[in-house]
Amino acid sequence: MRLHLPTLLLAAVLPLTALRNDFPTRVIKFVVPHGTGGGTDLVARVLAQKMSPSLGQPIVVENRPGAGTQTGAEYVASSPPDGHTIMLSSSSVLTIPYLRKTRFELPRDFTPIGQVGLGTFALVVNPRLPFRTLAEFIEAAKANPGKYTYGSAGMGSAGHLALELLKSKTGIELVHVPYKSSGDIAQALLSGQIDVSIDILTIQKALIDTQKVRALATTGLARDPNLPQLPTFNETGVVPGGYHMTYWYGLFVPVRTPAAVVQRLQREFTTAMKDPEILQRVKDFVLLPSELGPAQFKDNVATEAAMWKKLIESNDIRGD
């Protein structure tokens, strides 16, 4: 019996099409490259709970911390690209490949499903210092190179990169004092061991509200509704070329995941992110619910990656 070529082609395509249409066929894993109990872990668990019923399969959260998100990210990047292994990570995963040798790079090896939420940083100073505005601090730092110290949660951490970006744009010279965590930075500020830091509002907001530290500006494009009284860096007009920095949480799959599977996950993610419980959970972490679609998020990831790569390489920064 002879089969026409179109019939043969259809027979070859049908199994693959059916596989994509039947997705998912087994348990889905949300891999979190951070430890249990943190913001990323908690966001992953509530998102898994909301997406599981419509996908028709259980979603389990698997924590794979280590090497500043590198361990979990490499695990997902090397997993079968079939949509059953998904990474939910903070934006710290973006800079790791430029700080040390890794087997992945986010824009190259992952496809975004969606951005869960984003947050801003605040520049805070020891309240014993006289600075009341960002302009006053920048002026004093320019006049006294190397006099003031800044703390971060380690070499290559978000706070470290944030201050290095500020230094590169303003020409100020500050002395870096690395710590192990944002909590350590807060204590160092309170005790006067350091003068300034740029850190996430999740950590700093309570200290700012109780006036234990003094905040001078936030790093978003618009004022953060969690601290609406504070100007943005750009509002102050003291940073040449402007200054903007946020952190985010996002969902990603390996880059070779079939388009039909990616689109299904993006639809389910978009629906889940409209749920009031998830929106409230995002706000509880002092985050802003994301308004970006997958394509915009993908473009932003690529733009941010290029910016941080240039900064890290030009300043020869190495991660812990």
Residue 67: predicted pLDDT: 87
Is the per-residue pLDDT at 14 higher than 80? no
Q: Could you report the per-residue pLDDT of 110-119, keeping only the tens digit for each? A: 999 999 999 9
Using 50, 70 and 90 to split pLDDT, how confident is the model at 320?
low
Residue 128: predicted pLDDT: 92
**Residues forming CATH 3.40.190.10 domain(s) in the chain:** 120-236
What residue type is assigned to position 156 of the chain?
G
Q: How far apart, in whole angstroms, are the C-alpha atoms of residue 135 and residue 86?
A: 43
| Fold entry, domain 120-236 | D-Maltodextrin-Binding Protein; domain 2 (3.40.190)
Query: Measured between alpha carbons, how far apart are the two ends of the chain, in Å?
Result: 67
Which residue is listed with tokens 């947050």? Answer: 119
Q: What percent of the chain has pLDDT over 90?
A: 74
**Extended strands (E) in 157-260:** 175-178, 196-200, 214-218, 246-254
Q: For residues 166 and 198, is the Cβ–Cβ distance under 8 A?
A: yes
On average, the pLDDT of the chain sits at 90
Residue 3: predicted pLDDT: 44
Is the per-residue pLDDT at 218 higher than 70? yes
Residue 240: predicted pLDDT: 94
Residue 8: predicted pLDDT: 44
Is the per-residue pLDDT at 18 higher than 90? no
User: Average pLDDT in the 213-217 region?
Assistant: 96
Q: At what angle do helices 92-99 and 70-77 cross, to 10 degrees?
A: 90
Q: Could you report the per-residue pLDDT of 155-196, keeping only the tens digit for each? A: 899 999 999 999 999 999 999 999 988 888 889 999 999 999
Residue 6: predicted pLDDT: 46
Is the per-residue pLDDT at 302 higher than 90? yes
Which residue is listed with tokens 């087997």? Answer: 103
Residue 73: predicted pLDDT: 97
What residue type is assigned to position 6 of the chain?
P
Using 50, 70 and 90 to split pLDDT, how confident is the model at 16?
very low
User: Average pLDDT in the 193-222 region?
Assistant: 92
**Residues forming CATH 3.40.190.150 domain(s) in the chain:** 26-118+248-314
Is the per-residue pLDDT at 11 higher than 70? no
Q: How far apart, in whole angstroms, are the C-alpha atoms of residue 253 and residue 84?
A: 9
Is the per-residue pLDDT at 285 higher than 90? no
| Fold entry, domain 26-118+248-314 | D-Maltodextrin-Binding Protein; domain 2 (3.40.190)
Q: What percent of the chain has pLDDT over 70?
A: 93
Q: Could you report the per-residue pLDDT of 236-278, keeping only the tens digit for each? A: 999 999 999 999 999 999 999 999 999 999 999 999 999 998 8
